[in-house]
């Protein structure tokens, strides 16, 4: 199993370094075949739907909105409107390798639908690089399109999305939440652009990531993966997309996740973040992997830098380039103590990507921390905020209570 996981991770990261024509030829050949015939037809049907169609499938009216940033990215922002025009607007931010529809990945028991049922005006962001974004000048085949990290998401994508929602709804504030790297983007914006603290009635990070001082045991696996290791040891990458699965590759992963025999392979990636199989609806595993998306290599490198730099900094280009960009050999740090908006942190005891000790450190830095909610199940981990069958009782009942109190 260990050898298999090493192989899969190496394959997924191979395009960090390789532009091999042989891989392109292999992809073209294998795309002629169907690899997911064993997946339940109803699951395949849901996989084939676009986000608005999925919302309609579960009885919700879905809307697509378009937000354009100053540097030319065109972002699709999804919305599930409430019938009450005065309902509380809440913006949800996805994590790395994710996209907006991950917030309704779990059918009726999904975060977006739980919040919509509670009367919120639900908005779902898409950061640059997801399948629901484009650019006025570049295509995804241009390296310039992929020249970004989560720093640009905080500088451009999130503030433009917030301003669009406020202008559209005529509210003065919103509730902000995010998962994993989405919390990192939120922390970065609120700490670097103080005016946005006055536009956010409350920030509720799920599995917050701002420090990574307590690496999990699986971190030792990186030394066996040369392409993964580069994310932690190098700074200058040619801009490109990584971890994007489509065609036969996506079908194969769907098939593995639907197979009783080979499901353990699908579980390997979740084990990296803390995992308990009894919290997940395994029949939806092919949907879970289908709602993942590609990302820029700089985004992954920047996430890795949270560990190597002992906290959140702007992108580290190396001493020489840092000096040119920042007038300093080190990239500027994000100062969480500048976040004045009310914050409630939600985290799991079994989350190895947002270790409770790192979450405690975040809490110590925040001047307006309202609460730190440890999920009352010791098995609860990083992806359970999206995947767990009982997430409403464990997370979102308390989440809704805090959000409404912040609004009032």
Determine whether 180 is an active site residue.
yes
Does residue 382 carry a catalytic annotation?
Answer: yes
DSSP code, position 80: E
Q: Where are the alpha helices (DSSP H) in 135-260?
A: 150-152, 158-169, 181-192, 226-233, 247-258
Active site residue 377: no
- Helix ranges (H only) for 309-407 are 319-326, 356-365, 384-387, 391, 397-407
Answer left, alpha or beta for residue 77, where phi above 0 means left and psi between -120 and 50 means alpha: beta
Catalytic residue from among 179, 302, 313, 382: 382
Residues 48, 39 contacting (CB under 8 angstroms) = no
The catalytically annotated residue of 96, 131, 180, 381 is 180
Question: How many C-beta atoms lie closer than 10 Å to residue 366's C-beta?
Answer: 25
Q: Residue 249 is encoded by which pair of tokens?
A: 């590759």
CB 406 within 8 A of CB 175: yes
| Short-list 44, 395, 2, CA closest to 250 | 44
Kindly state the helix (H) or strand (E) to which residue 264 belongs, with its residue range.
Answer: helix 263-271
The catalytically annotated residue of 351, 355, 377, 384 is 351
Which residue is listed with tokens 């024509």?
Answer: 21
295 within 8 A of 96, measured Cβ to Cβ: yes
Asked if residue 387 lies in contact with residue 206, where contact means CB atoms within 8 angstroms, the answer is: no
Q: Hey, what are 115's tokens?
A: 């919040």
Distance CA 130, CA 74 (A): 11
Active site residues: 180, 351, 382
């Amino acid at each position: 199993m260990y050898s298999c996981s090493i192989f899969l991770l190496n394959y997924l990261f191979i395009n960090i370094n390789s532009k091999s024509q042989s891989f392109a030829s292999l992809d073209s050949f294998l795309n002629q075949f169907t690899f997911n015939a064993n997946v339940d037809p109803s699951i395949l049907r849901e996989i084939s739907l676009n986000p608005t169609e999925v919302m309609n499938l579960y009885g919700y009216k879905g809307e697509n909105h378009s937000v354009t940033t100053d540097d030319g990215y065109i972002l699709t922002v999804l919305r599930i409107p409430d019938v009450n025009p005065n309902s509380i607007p809440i913006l949800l931010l996805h994590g790395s390798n994710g996209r907006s529809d991950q917030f309704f990945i779990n059918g009726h028991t999904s975060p977006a639908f739980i919040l919509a049922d509670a009367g919120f005006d639900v908005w779902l962001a898409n950061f640059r690089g997801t399948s629901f974004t484009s650019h006025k000048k570049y295509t995804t085949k241009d390296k310039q399109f992929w020249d970004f990290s989560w720093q640009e998401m905080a500088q451009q994508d999130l503030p433009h999305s917030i301003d669009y929602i406020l202008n559209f709804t005529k509210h003065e504030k919103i509730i902000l939440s995010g998962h994993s790297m989405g919390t990192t983007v939120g922390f970065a914006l609120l700490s670097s652009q103080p005016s946005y603290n006055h536009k956010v009635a409350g920030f509720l990070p799920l599995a917050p990531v701002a420090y990574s001082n307590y690496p999990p045991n699986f971190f030792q696996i990186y030394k066996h993966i040369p392409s993964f290791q580069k994310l932690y040891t190098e700074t200058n990458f040619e801009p490109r997309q990584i971890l994007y699965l489509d065609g036969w590759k996506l079908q194969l992963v769907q098939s593995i996740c639907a197979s009783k025999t080979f499901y353990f392979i699908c579980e390997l990636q979740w084990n990296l973040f803390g995992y308990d199989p009894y919290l997940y609806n395994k029949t939806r595993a092919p949907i879970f992997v289908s709602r993942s998306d590609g990302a820029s290599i700089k985004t992954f490198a920047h996430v890795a830098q949270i560990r190597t730099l002992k906290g959140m900094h702007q992108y580290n280009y190396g001493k020489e380039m840092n000096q040119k960009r920042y007038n300093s050999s080190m990239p500027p740090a994000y100062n969480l103590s500048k976040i004045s908006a009310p914050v409630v942190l939600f985290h799991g005891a079994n989350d190895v990507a947002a270790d409770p000790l790192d979450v405690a450190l975040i809490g110590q830095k925040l001047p307006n921390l309202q609460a730190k909610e440890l999920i009352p199940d010791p098995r609860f981990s990083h992806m359970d905020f999206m995947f767990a069958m009982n997430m409403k009782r464990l997370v979102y009942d308390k989440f809704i209570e805090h959000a409404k109190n912040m609004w009032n």
